[in-house]
Amino acid sequence: MAATDLLIVNARVTTLDRAKPQAEAVAIRDGRFLAVGSEREVRAAAPQATVIDADGRRLIPGLIDSHIHVIRGGLNYNMELRWDGVPTLTDAMAMLRRQVQNTPPPQWVRVVGGFTEQQFAEKRLPTIGELNAVAPDTPVFILHLYDRALLNAAALRAVGYTRDTPNPPGGEIVRDAQGHPTGLLLAQPNATILYATLAKGPKLPPDYQRNSTRHFMRELNGLGVTSVIDAGGGAQNYPDDYQVIEQLHRDGELTLRIAYNLFTQKPKDELADFRGWAHTVSPGQGDDTYRANGAGEMLVYSAADFEDFRAPRPEMPPNMEADLEPVIRLLAEKRWPWRMHATYDETISRALDVFEKVNRDIPLTGLNWFFDHAETISERSIDRIAALGGGIAVQHRMAYQGEYFVERYGAQAAEATPPVKRMLESGVPVGAGTDATRVASYNPWVSLSWLVTSKTVGGLTLYPQRNRLDRETALRLWTEANAWFSSEQGKKGQIKVGQLADLALLSDDYFAVPESDIVHLRSVLTVLGGKVVHGEGDYTPLAPALPKPMPDWSPVATFGGYWRTPDAQLRQRASACACDSACGVHGHAHLKPLQANVPAGDARGFWGVFGCSCWAI
C-alpha cells in the first residue's frame, strides 16, 4: 500500500497510553499517528485517507522484541525446518521425512532450535537410529536448545567426525564402546561445539540470504512484531555479516525496525574489538528503521554463563572482573550502552562489582545499559541495578527449560525465575523478548502466554499467582517498555499521537481469549510506519507480495514457519492460492493428501499432511 493517509476504523484499540487507554479508530500520516479516538474524530483529521475496516478486532501497538538474533536468523531462515510449536514428535518426524525427500545433495536438513522435547506429547527427542532410518544419505543436524545436537551418520560423514577426532574445548563428541561418534554432541559447558559444527554446513549465496531475510521478517510481521533489538551472536561478524540487512535497508525493504548490538567474536581480544568499533560506529547512528544500539550481549567470554539447566551452574573464572573492567570503562567513556548475557545471580553480582567501580569514576547515568536473562537474580542485585540506572531484559527461556530447572533445583527455587514482578516493583526498566532463533522460538505469543500463565510449552506450571503478570502488564513489556532498551522512549510502543505508526490487528482478542489460547494469536494486519507489511485473510491484498522462498527446496516453501493448527494452515494456503477461488470456497475438497494412508479431505493430523494441489510445493 502506498504511503498516504490511512484510517483504521471499527477497532477495539488498546493504546497503552494511560491518558487515553482505549479508542475505536486511528489516523496515520507521514508514518506517525495523527489522531487516536472515535471514528468521527479520526475521519475529521484525515478526510481523504484510505480506510481499513478492522471488523471489531483488537488493535495493539506493534510488538517489540528486545532480544532476538534476527540478522543471523534471517541469513539462515530459508534453510531451516522449524519445529517451533509442533505438538508431537510423530508430526516433527513426518515433516523431517518429507524435507529429506525435497533436499538435494549436498545440502543438509537442519532443525536449528526454537523447540524443546518437552513440547512433544512423547516428551523425547528422536533417536539417532530414527534419524538414520529417515535420512540414510542426507545430512541431518538437529539443535536442541544450547545443550546438545543430534547428527545422523550422513552428517557425521559430512563434518568429518571420526574416532580420531578429539573433543574440542568446552564440548563433547559422545562415542560408543568402540570410540566411534554416536551422533550426539554435548555443550560442556558452552555451545562452541554446536556453533562450530553447524558452521561446517553449506551456506546460502547472498541473493538467497536476502530472500531468506525477507521471509523471516515477514514471518515475524505475521506474529505482530514490528521492531526488534538484534543481540548479535556467535559467528555473526561485523560488518561482513551485516551486508544483506544493510542492503535491504538501503533498498527500503526492511519490514522491521532493527536496532543492533555488536557482539565480540574473539576471546582475549574483546577490548580490541570494542575499541575498533568505537572509531567507526556511534550508538544511535542510522535512522528509525535501522540503527546502532550499543555493545553486547557478549562483552567478555570469561563472563559468559551459558544456561544449560541440565548441567551444574558454571563457575566464572577468577579473571572475569579483570577482563570485564577495561571493556566497561571504554564503553562508559565512549557513552556506549551495553547489554550483558547473565543467567545466574553469581555472575550478575560479580559484574555489578565492576559496574559500581567504574561508576565511581565515570557515572553510568543515562546509558540505558542492561542485563539479559537474569533467571536467578537476587533481590539485592535487582536493587543494585536500580541504583545504577540499569535495566533487565527477560526472555521466555524458562518456557523451554523449566522442567530441567525444576529437576535440578526444585519447584520452590523455580517460583521466581526470573522474578519479573519484583523487578517491576523496584522501578528497574524491564522488557521482554525471545532470545530466538536457537534457544527459544521467535513467537512473541509464547512469551506472553508464559508471562501470564507461568506455564512451560510442556504444560508445567512454574510460578504461583503472586509471580505472574496480568495481560496488560505483560503486553507493556512487549511494547512501551521495550523502547527504553533501544533508547527510543516516547517514540514507539504506544498508539499515541506523534509516535511511530506501528500496529497489529489481532486474529482474536488477547484480552478475552482463554489463557490457553494466547499462544495461538497472530496478526491479520501489521502496519509499520503507516505502511501495511503483512496481511492475512481479507487483508491479504493490502500487503506487498513476497517472492517465492529461495532455494525452491526450502522448508519455508512447504511448511512455513511457526506451526499452526490444521484449519488455520488450510485457510492461509487457500488465501494465498493463485489458481481460482475454489480453495477458499470448497475448503478441504481442493486439497490432496501428502502423506500415505490419509484420505483426501481429512483434516486430522498436523497441517503438513496436506498441500493445495495448485501450490508449487
**pLDDT score recorded for residue 586:** 26
Residue that terminates a domain, selected from 145, 165, 198: 198
C-alpha dihedral, 237 to 240 to 245 to 246, nearest 10°: 130
Residue 599 sits in which domain range? 564-612
* Residue 519 located in a structural domain: no
For 136-192, the DSSP string reads: SSS-EEEEETTTEEEE-HHHHHHHT--TTPPPPTTEEEEE-TTS-EEEEEEESSSSH
Residue 235 pLDDT class (50, 70, 90 cuts)? confident
* Residue 449 located in a structural domain: no
**DSSP 8-state symbol, 20:** S
* Residue 155 located in a structural domain: yes
Report the SS3 class of residue 12. Answer: strand
Whether pLDDT at 238 is above 50: yes
Report the SS3 class of residue 556. Answer: helix
Extract the C-alpha cell encoding 35: 489522531
**pLDDT score recorded for residue 86:** 98
| pLDDT, tens only, 74-130 | 999 999 999 999 999 999 999 999 999 999 999 999 999 999 999 999 999 999 999
Query: Which CATH number fits the domain that encloses residue 110?
Result: 3.10.310.70
Q: Distance between alpha carbon 566 and the CA centroid of its chain, in Å? A: 23
- What are the helix and strand counts (H, E) for the chain? 19, 25
CA 387 to CA 381: how far, in whole Å?
10
* Residue 157 located in a structural domain: yes
CA 271 to CA 72: how far, in whole Å?
23
Bridge partners of residue 187, in order along the sequence: 171
Extract the C-alpha cell encoding 361: 569514576
| pLDDT, tens only, 405-415 | 999 999 999 99
Candidate from 65-79, 402-416, 570-584 with smallest mean pLDDT: 570-584
* Residue 113 located in a structural domain: yes
Whether pLDDT at 523 is above 80: yes
The answer, as to whether pTM is greater than 0.85, is: yes
CA 362 to CA 500: how far, in whole Å?
34
* Residue 10 located in a structural domain: no
Give the residue among 196, 431, 456 at the shortest CA–CA distance from 309. Answer: 456
Residue that terminates a domain, selected from 198, 230, 251: 198
Residue that terminates a domain, selected from 198, 221, 248: 198
Whether pLDDT at 533 is above 90: yes
* Residue 110 located in a structural domain: yes
CA 109 to CA 83: how far, in whole Å?
12
Residue 191 pLDDT class (50, 70, 90 cuts)? confident
Of 464 and 571, more confident: 464
Neighbours of 343 (CB within 10 A): 25
* Residue 119 located in a structural domain: yes
For 453-476, what is the mean pLDDT? 97
For 305-343, the DSSP string reads: ----TTSPPPPPPTTHHHHHHHHHHHHHHHT--BEEEE-
**DSSP 8-state symbol, 564:** -
CB 243 within 8 A of CB 206: yes
Sheet bearing 339-342, strands edge to edge: 339-342, 370-373, 391-395, 430-433
Number of independent structural domains in the chain: 2
